Amino acid sequence: MKNLNKAISNSLALILVLSVGLMSCDGGGGGGGGGQPSGQTTTIIGNVESVVAMAPQNNKSSMLAKIKDFFSLSKTANAQDDQIIVTIVVDDQEFVVPVEPNGDFVAVVPISFSGNNVTLVFESDGDDESIVIFVPPVDAVIIVVLVNFQGNDAEVVELEFEGPLRCENATISLVAEAGEDIEIHGNGGACVLTAGNCDLTFDAENVIFQDCNSCFDTRGNSVLEIFADEDIICEGAGDCVISRGTSSTSLFAGDEISLDCIDARGNVEVTLDALSCIIGDIFTVGNATVDTSGCANIGI
């Protein structure tokens, strides 16, 4: 994760917090069909805060804690003299959104079940900066962005996904910048749900799943691969890998994989490869296989 302890002086910096909530129409539900239904939209709710400097932070904290810290630094800074405009571009469609005096803005954009590259262009007083993020089919996205109009720079500081990431009959690849993490919050449900012929890949410094009833629930012929330079961690009530059908789940970590349990049934394959694998229990039914031969050390 990029260091947030950067001091920004003699320049304008903006902290942008986005909450992206998926809403499917005509019976979207949790199952889905074999393809992309028409009319699926994503609501983007944003808030722009301007700061001149940020206080040092020695320890990593949760995204929400960081956001609260950022807001506490500049409670009145969003009453800006220069109007800020945000233009959101999805598949060549542009959605121009003015930022209110209190820093808020709202937009509704289309997002497919395969996810989309979304461009955010920030304009103020004749200057503009842009970033591109990949928005997967999750319930929400929270993003913190620093925009320095004077320094011609825009940077994604941290990115989190809220709600289960659902993938069915699609190919999705989530690759973080070097040294950055990927975090998914399950909000009490499964953090990742795959089915059909889904092919889902994560690649980051650390891949972290929080507040999950189950870390991953893979079914059908789906393939899930997670690559972490350091750790793959699941924190929550269940902390389990649930694998069904003929699905394949492969976890590769440079340091540690931490799971409460693995529940594999049918003709599934679950593979773990790490310096240390911490697993509570392993359950297999039928022809299911759980391969931990790549774990240098196994603990409970």
- Taking the domains of the chain in order of start, what are their residue ranges? 1-161, 163-300
Over residues 203-231, mean pLDDT: 94
Separation between Cα atoms, residue 124 and residue 87, nearest integer Å: 12
Over residues 69-90, mean pLDDT: 58
| DSSP SS3 for 73 | helix
The most confident of 3-17, 73-87, 116-130, 284-298, by mean pLDDT: 284-298
**Quick one: pLDDT at residue 89?**
93
Separation between Cα atoms, residue 136 and residue 81, nearest integer Å: 35
Which amino acid is residue 136, in one-letter code? P
Return the C-alpha torsion angle 266, 231, 138, 134, nearest 10.
-120
Separation between Cα atoms, residue 266 and residue 288, nearest integer Å: 5
> What is the chain's length?
300
108, with CB counted inside 10 A (0-12, 13-18, 19+), is middle
CATH T-level fold of 1-161 = Immunoglobulin-like (2.60.40)
In the block, tokens 């598949």 appear at 91
Neighbouring-strand partners of residue 175: 203
Which residues fall within 8 angstroms of residue 84, CB to CB, at 6 or more apart?
Answer: 14, 48, 98, 99, 122, 123, 124
Contact 209, 233 (CB under 8 A): yes
Neighbouring-strand partners of residue 49: 15
Return the C-alpha torsion angle 260, 212, 292, 286, nearest 10.
90
Return the C-alpha torsion angle 135, 138, 140, 144, nearest 10.
-40
Over residues 201-207, mean pLDDT: 96
Q: Higher confidence at residue 207 or residue 162?
A: 207
Neighbouring-strand partners of residue 236: none
Over residues 91-118, mean pLDDT: 81
Q: Is the pTM for the entire model greater than 0.75?
A: no
What digits encode the pLDDT tens for the residues 134-184?
888 877 777 777 777 777 777 776 677 877 888 988 999 999 888 889 999
Separation between Cα atoms, residue 71 and residue 282, nearest integer Å: 44
**Quick one: pLDDT at residue 172?**
93
Q: What is the H or E stretch that residue 65 is in?
A: helix 63-73
In the block, tokens 């269940």 appear at 238
Over residues 266-290, mean pLDDT: 94
Which residues fall within 8 angstroms of residue 106, CB to CB, at 6 or more apart?
Answer: 43, 44, 45, 46, 97
Separation between Cα atoms, residue 184 and residue 263, nearest integer Å: 21
